[in-house]
Amino acid sequence: MRAAVLGAATGARSVTPIAALARSGHPGLPALAGPWARRLTTAAALGELVTDKLPTTGSRLAPAAFGGRLALGALAGYALARGHRAPVVVPVLAAVVAAAASSYAGAAWRAAGARHGLAFPAAIAEDGAAVLLADSAVR
């Protein structure tokens, strides 16, 4: 279940779950264990929160962006499973499916917000959901 939650967060903000894993000191990926990894992933996640609001930012459903979200979701599911010394196949699949569903749901949410003149508040709400989901999954 926690892998699916991380996947859902990945569909909303692709780097946020990786940053949450690094900040929590989660042992699933040793490369995320050091202070520099925490700083870099947090900076990347914050940068994504900003660039997501720019009018030049492309669709998360574009093939490269969508594939990246699926790959980062898989990585998050893998790291979570490895940190708990659990088999990785089911968590990785759960995270990927949740990342895909969340990507489409987030795009629909943002489109609805834009139609009602609430694009920025919708984006901020999605930011909050992604951070809360990721943080709750790694606790």
Domain ranges of the chain: 2-138
For the chain, list residues with pLDDT below 70. Answer: none
Output the pLDDT for position 32.
81
Output the pLDDT for position 25.
84
Only one residue has tokens 């967060």, namely 9
Q: Work out the end-to-end distance of the chain between its first and last CA atoms, rounded to an integer number of angstroms.
A: 13
Per-position b or e across 108-128, b if 16+ CB within 10 A of its CB: ebbeebeeeeebeebbeebbe
Output the pLDDT for position 96.
98
Output the pLDDT for position 48.
96
Q: Please give the model's pTM, rounded to 2 decimal places.
A: 0.93
Output the pLDDT for position 139.
86
